[in-house]
Amino acid sequence: KIRLGILGSGKGSNFRAILEAIQAGQIDAEVAIVLSDVPGAGILQYAADAGLRAEEIVEPKFRTRLSPEVEEGLVRTLKDAGVDLVVLAGYMRMVKSTTLDAFPRRVINIHPSLLPKFPGLEAWKQALEAGESVTGCTVHYVDSGMDTGEIIAQESVPVLPDDTAASLHARIQVAEHHLYPAIVKRFADGELP
Ligand code: GAR
């Protein structure tokens, strides 16, 4: 059974979708640990309520990346927890070679656009402002760039004429909650290298 290490900064709805699929017996995996850089984040609360190991690893120096000593601590924590697959679920920092070398082709992310379009922050807003008629979400391997790693799968959603940023993000999240558990299942079933 593969052991997941989940990293998130926000409310944790993608984590929830994955956990529910595990609990329903659809994914043969277990959540070894949930880590957040944001004290009190919803994702930590939900994990703790579910009886899972949930910890903060805060970064005092930088906003969007990790200092080497913090990233080394993160990797040590993941390794100590016996993690096989690192699942970024709304984790709003870049991980670098410290993490990627420790988990080669074993760090994945979900991004709220059809990459390579709209990497970076608030990708749904970028799609709306660009006048796209279709956007979606992407699950990809993480590399050292920002949202540049090899794409594993995507799901599209329409952009509707009266969409707001919030309504479009909500529609993308529904797609995320299908796509991410389905891809984690493929790792659990040994179908992905
Ligand atoms: C998701 O929409 C995810 O795609 C996005 O943050 C949201 C987290 O929601 N991630 C990024 O923008 C990463 N650059 P959640 O906490 O409810 O899963």
Q: DSSP of 121-186, one letter per residue? A: TTHHHHHHHTT-SEEEEEEEE--SSSS-SPEEEEEEEEPPTT--HHHHHHHHHHHHHHHHHHHHHH
Question: 53 CA to middle of ligand 1, Å?
Answer: 21
User: Percentage of the chain surpassing pLDDT 90?
Assistant: 99
Confidence band of 63 (pLDDT split at 50, 70, 90):
very high
pLDDT tens string 154-187: 999 999 999 999 999 999 999 999 999 999 999 9
Q: Does ligand 1 lie within 6 Å of residue 83's CB atom? A: no
**Which of 11, 14, 44, 64 has most ligand 1 atoms within 8 Å of CB, for mutation?**
14
Q: Is the pLDDT of residue 28 over 90?
A: yes
Residue numbers annotated as active site: 111
Give the annotated binding-site residues.
12-14, 65, 109
Ligand 1 atom 2: residue of nearest CA: 112
Question: 90 CA to middle of ligand 1, Å?
Answer: 4
Question: 17 CA to middle of ligand 1, Å?
Answer: 12
Q: Does ligand 1 lie within 6 Å of residue 112's CB atom? A: yes
Q: For residue 30, what pLDDT is reported? A: 98
Q: Does ligand 1 lie within 6 Å of residue 173's CB atom? A: yes
Q: Is the pLDDT of residue 50 over 90?
A: yes
Nearest to 55 by CA among 67, 72, 43: 43
Q: For residue 193, what pLDDT is reported? A: 82
Confidence band of 8 (pLDDT split at 50, 70, 90):
very high
Q: Is the pLDDT of residue 37 over 90?
A: yes
**Does the N-terminal peptide bond of residue 104 adopt cis geometry, omega within 30 degrees of 0?**
no
Provide the edge-to-edge strand list for the sheet that holds 54-56: 54-56, 29-36, 2-7, 85-88, 107-111, 134-141, 151-158
Q: Is the pLDDT of residue 33 over 90?
A: yes
Mean of all residue pLDDT scores within the chain = 98
